[in-house]
Amino acid sequence: MEILQARPGATAAELAAGLGVTERAARRYVGILREAGIPVESTRGPYGGYRLGRGTRLPPVVFTEPEALGLVMAVLDGHPAATDVDDLVGSALGKVVRALPESVGRRAATLREHASAAPDRHSARPDPSTTSALVAAIAARCRVLVTYRSESGNEWAAEVDPWAVVVRHGRWYLLCHCHRADAIRTYRVDRVRAVQQTAHEFEPPDGLDPVAAVEENLGTGWQFPTRVVFRAPPADVAPWIRAPMGRLGPWGDGCVLVGSTNNPAMYAQEWLASVPFDFRVEGGQELRAAVATVASRFAAALADQP
């Protein structure tokens, strides 16, 4: 029915190709629809084919069982609170499940009721209206004025060319060109407080790969510079390095990580402390001080007690 609605006049061969069955099976399916009271008209000849009768409408939601279950699983994976009917996404998911055919909807509802999801403490979901405003500007290729609040609470406004919105590990990022800094920036969408579209248009870079660009720029443009040298080859260190930590490159017999951060304490005690290789902090006095604090805490933990 979806094929016939999208392509009136589809032939038996086209139906068979779209469904992955033989032409004979496709004709049998047409017969089943007719027996169920669905008016499917046919025209013979070189320009003939099948079409739905005038006024025929598809049900509001048409999913196969695997599609419906996959949708519920994806929603719970990305939004654990969707098991709660009072949650915004949970309410929307409930409407989708109720609109499904009974046999499919029953399994989807059972999955939703009995599955539990642990929330990701690192995820941060932005306001839907803010996200929608940014996506609309991206589609229209219009520059926007955004009001942004940093993790430390500082707030500022900047004109940016919004190139893309990227979802990465439970966080939403705006990839853009910031005219204030005249540089590429990645802003957390959940920290965008206001979006105002302007009359200025822009053209995104040719061949832009938004995910790769976000990965490359997450560790740049922050307040405190960082430079860390590891006594291990890049191939061994790379799996332990997160994109926001900076860019990793070869350096003598080891490798060097160059980046920046707004939170040296987190960089030291959460990120660097988890890397299982010897390292030396060569740059960033703030990061050196944060590493010294962590080292003192660990040394104190091993000191003899009275």
Euclidean distance between the first and final Cα of the chain, in Å? 80
CB distance 202 to 161 below 8 Å: yes
Q: How many structural domains comprise the chain?
A: 4
Are both 135 and 212 inside the same structural domain? yes
Give the whole-angstrom CA distance, residue 265 versus residue 285.
12
In a domain, 37, yes or no: yes
Query: What DSSP designation does 125 have?
Result: P
Token reading at 49: 């084919």
Are both 93 and 135 inside the same structural domain? no
Token reading at 50: 């099948």
DSSP 142-164: EEEEEEEE-TTS-EEEEEEEEEE
CB distance 170 to 78 below 8 Å: yes
Are both 231 and 200 inside the same structural domain? no
CA-closest candidate to residue 15, choices 5, 3, 6: 3
Which CATH number characterizes residue 39's domain? 1.10.10.10
| pLDDT tens by residue, 64-91 | 788 888 988 988 888 888 888 788 888 9
Are both 140 and 207 inside the same structural domain? yes
Give the whole-angstrom CA distance, residue 197 versus residue 177.
15
pTM for the full model?
A: 0.66
**What domain range includes position 48?**
2-52
Q: Are strands 171-178 and 155-168 parallel, antiparallel or unpaired?
A: antiparallel
In a domain, 122, yes or no: no
Which pLDDT score, from 0 to 100, does residue 81 have?
Answer: 85
In a domain, 60, yes or no: no
In a domain, 149, yes or no: yes
Residue spans of beta strands (DSSP E) within 6-89: 40-43, 49-52
Which CATH number characterizes residue 149's domain? 2.30.30.520
Beta bridge mates, 234: none
DSSP 162-223: EEEEEEETTEEEEEEEETTTTEEEEEEGGGEEEEEEEEEE--PPTT--HHHHHHHHTTSS-S
Which pLDDT score, from 0 to 100, does residue 303 have?
Answer: 84
Question: Which of these three, 216, 236, 262, is where a domain ends?
Answer: 216
Which pLDDT score, from 0 to 100, does residue 61 have?
Answer: 64
In a domain, 20, yes or no: yes
Which pLDDT score, from 0 to 100, does residue 306 have?
Answer: 62
In a domain, 59, yes or no: no
Give how far the C-alpha of residue 193 lies from the chain's centroid of Cα atoms, to the nearest Å.
Answer: 20
Question: Which of these three, 196, 216, 236, is where a domain ends?
Answer: 216
Are both 200 and 247 inside the same structural domain? no
pLDDT in tens, the chain (306 residues): 888 888 888 999 999 998 889 999 999 999 888 887 888 898 887 777 898 887 777 666 677 788 888 988 988 888 888 888 788 888 998 888 888 877 788 888 888 888 888 877 777 889 989 999 999 999 999 999 999 998 778 899 999 999 999 998 888 999 999 999 899 999 999 999 999 999 999 999 999 999 989 988 888 778 899 999 999 999 999 999 988 899 999 999 999 999 999 899 999 999 999 999 999 999 899 999 999 999 999 999 988 766
Are both 211 and 136 inside the same structural domain? yes
In a domain, 145, yes or no: yes
Containing 258, the helix (H) or strand (E) segment is strand 254-261
Are both 12 and 48 inside the same structural domain? yes
Are both 244 and 288 inside the same structural domain? yes
Are both 42 and 106 inside the same structural domain? no
Are both 73 and 132 inside the same structural domain? no
In a domain, 120, yes or no: no
